[in-house]
Structure 1
Amino acid sequence: MNYPLSKNGEWLEFDFQDKKKIAKVARNIPEGEDWLKEINESNKNNLKIAITSDYLHVRGSLIYHQNSQKENEYKVFHFYTCKDFFITVGLEMNDLKQKNKMLHRMQSSRNGVENFCILLSEITNRFLVRIDDFEVQLKNIVGKLQRNNNKNKLDQIFRYRQKLITSKSLLIPMEELINAIEETFLNEVVKTLEFNRVRLRIKRAMTLVQHYQEEMETLLHLEEAISSYRGNEIMKTLTVITTIFTPVMALGALWGMNFKHMPELEWKFGYLGSLILIFVSTIAIYFYLKFRGWTGGILKERKKKSLF
C-alpha cells in the first residue's frame, strides 16, 4: 500500500507479500540490494546507517510488539529512511489507533525523516497507553497485597514484572534508532519539531518504565520480606508449641509403656499426680520461654490491616 503524503517525504508502505514491488524499489535506492537481503534474512531488531558525500540514510528492522509470555510471538517491520522519502515493510497499520491524525501531521512535514519520526512517535504512544494500564494494575496488586498475601499474588507480581521488562526491551532499540537518526542527519533533523517530540516521548516512556520497574522491584523485596517473616513466625510457633508440650509427650510415652513391673501403676494418687506434674511442667516451660523472650509476638493477636 502506498501513502503519498506530500511531494517531499513520501511514504512507501508494503506488505511482506509485495516482494516484486519491494525489489523494484530497492533497485533504485542506494544500498537497496543490501537492504532487500536484510529484509529476506533478518526478522529481529537491526540497524544500519549510511553516511557518504552522495547520500544519507538509516535502515533496519524494528520489533514494535512482543508477547511477554511467548517469546516467539512478536511483530516486526523493516524501514529505509532518507531525506526525500521513507519506506516501511510489514507494518500493520491497524495497530496504530491514531492513524488518521498521524497521516494529517505528515502532510505538513518537510521531508521523509520528519515523517518517519511522526511514525515512531505514534508507535511510542502505544507503549505509553500500555504503561498507563500497567499503572492501574500495579495499584490493584498493591491493594490486594495489603489485604492478602499468597502465592497467587506473587505470581501476578512476576507476570507484571515480565511485562515491564518486555516493554523496556522494545523501547531500547527505538532509543538507539532515534540516536542513529540524529547521528546521520545532524542539524537537518535535530532542530525539527517532530524529531524532538519523538525523542522526548521515547525518553518519557523509558523514564516511566524504569520508575515502575524500580517500584516493582521494591514490591518484590517487600513480598520476600513478608514471606520470610511469616515463614520464620510459623517455624517459631511450631517450635514453641513443640517445646511447651514436650512434658505431655515425654510423660505420656513413659506411662504408656507396657512393662510388667511399673511401680507407678500401683500408686493410689498416681493418676492425679501425673496430671499435676504434666500441668505444672507445661506451665513452667511456657513461663520460662516467655521470660527469656523466645515467644516473641507469636502469641499476640494479629492486627487486621497488618501485612505481617
Structure 2
Amino acid sequence: MIHTITKEQEHDFEWIDIEAPTKEELKDAGNTYRLHESHIADLQQHDHLPKVEKLDGYVFIIIRSHAEKTGPQADTVTELTDKVAIFMNEHQVITIHKKPWSVPEMIRDNQLENNDCKTAHQLVNEIVKNCLTTFETQSDKLIKDIEYYEENMFLKNRKASLLQGLYYLRRRVEVTRRVIMLTHEIVDKLDAPDRTNAYTRDTRDLYVKLQSIYDTLFENMNQLVMIYFSISSQRTNEIVRVLTLFSVFFMPLTFIVGIYGMNFDYMPELHWKWGYPGVMILMAVITAAVYAWFKKKGWL
C-alpha cells in the first residue's frame, strides 16, 4: 500500500510511504523510482541489520525500531525489532516497512505542519530519531525486569523459571544492544560535518545515551547471571555442609551399632544387666561431644 505523505510542491521534497509491499509491488516500486536491485534484495531479508550506503543517487538506509509487542521469550532480531528501509535524495524520501507504522502520521502532524522539516535530510533525521526513541522506552522496562530478578535472587526463594527468564532477558538486551551499535554509521552519515545542525546533534545525543544505557544493561545482565550461579553454588555448598554435619553425628553411633550387631556367641557385655542403657548413654555422650566440638569450631 503506497501513501503519499507530502508532495514536493508543499515542502520542496516528496515523501512516499509503502506499507507491507508484496514482491511484485517491490519490483514495480524499484522500476518506478529507479531503486537498485541489490537494495530491493536487502528489503526482502527480514532479519537484515542496520546499514547505510549511497548508490545511484540515493542514500539507502535500513534502520530498526523496537517492536511494540514482543513475547516473553522473544530473543531474535525479527522478534524484537521492526525493519524500516529509507531511500533519500534531495527531492524525495521513500520509506518501506512491513508492519503498520505510526511515525509518518506523527511526523506529518508535528514537524511537517509546523514546517520544522525543511529538507529531506531533516526528515530522515526525524525518522531515525523516532526509531531510536523506541529503544529508550524499552530500556525502562528492561531496567525494571533486571530489578525484579535481582530482588528474587537476593531476597526471596528461587523459582524454577528464574534461570529461563534470566536467559531471555539477557538475549533481549544483547540483541537490542547489537542493533543500536550497528546504527552508529547511520547517525554518523546524518550528523556529518557538512550537514550537522541542532536536529542531527539531538539524534546523535540520543544515540550516545542509548548506547550508554544498553552497554550498562548488558554488563549488569552478565554480572546478574554470574551472581545467579554463584548463589546457586553457595546454596548447594550449604546443603552439602549440613548433610556432612549430620553424617558426622551418626558415624560413631553407626560404628557402635555395627559392633553390637554382630552375631558372635562370645562377645563381651552381651549379658550385662545394664548393657543396653549403658550403650544409649554412651551414644548420647558422643553426640553431645561432637556437638560441643562443632560449636567450638564455629561450624554450627
Q: Tell me whether the two structures share a fold, i.e. TM-score over 0.5.
A: yes
Q: Secondary structure at the match of 1:75?
A: strand
Change in 2 beyond 3 A, CA 1:47/1:160: closer
Query: Unmatched 5+ residue regions in structure 1?
Result: 300-308
Which residue of 184, 198, 223 corresponds with 1:175?
184
Pairwise CA distance, 1:21: 5.8
Change in 2 beyond 3 A, CA 1:123/1:22: same
In the alignment, the residues of structure 2 paired with residue 95 and residue 232 of structure 1 have an alpha-carbon distance, to the nearest angstrom, of 54
Which residue of 228, 244, 249 corresponds with 1:239?
244
Which residue of 187, 190, 193 corresponds with 2:194?
187
Matched, 1:104 2:110: yes
Q: TM-score, normalised by structure 1?
A: 0.79
In the alignment, the residues of structure 2 paired with residue 8 and residue 19 of structure 1 have an alpha-carbon distance, to the nearest angstrom, of 30
Matched, 1:209 2:211: no
Matched, 1:76 2:83: yes
Structure 1 equivalent of residue 60 of structure 2: 59
Which residue of 139, 144, 161 corresponds with 2:147?
139
Matched, 1:89 2:89: no
Q: Secondary structure at the match of 1:11?
A: strand
> Over the residues paired in the alignment, what is the CA RMSD in angstroms?
3.0
Which residue of 2, 5, 9 corresponds with 1:3?
5
Change in 2 beyond 3 A, CA 1:174/1:102: farther
In the alignment, the residues of structure 2 paired with residue 147 and residue 139 of structure 1 have an alpha-carbon distance, to the nearest angstrom, of 11
Pairwise CA distance, 1:278: 1.4
Q: TM-score, normalised by structure 2?
A: 0.81
Change in 2 beyond 3 A, CA 1:104/1:10: farther
Structure 1 equivalent of residue 133 of structure 2: 125
- The one-letter code matched in structure 1 to 2:117 is S
Pairwise CA distance, 1:101: 4.9
Pairwise CA distance, 1:169: 2.2
Pairwise CA distance, 1:3: 0.9
In the alignment, the residues of structure 1 paired with residue 189 and residue 133 of structure 2 have an alpha-carbon distance, to the nearest angstrom, of 20
Change in 2 beyond 3 A, CA 1:259/1:124: same
Which residue of 26, 30, 36 corresponds with 1:32?
36
Query: Unmatched 5+ residue regions in structure 2?
Result: none
Pairwise CA distance, 1:187: 1.0
Whether the aligned pair in 1 keeps the contact of 2:64 and 2:131 (CA below 8 Å) is no
In the alignment, the residues of structure 1 paired with residue 13 and residue 98 of structure 2 have an alpha-carbon distance, to the nearest angstrom, of 18
Pairwise CA distance, 1:36: 2.9
The count of residues paired between Structure 1 and Structure 2 equals 287
Pairwise CA distance, 1:47: 2.7
Change in 2 beyond 3 A, CA 1:17/1:83: same
Change in 2 beyond 3 A, CA 1:207/1:41: closer
Pairwise CA distance, 1:14: 0.8
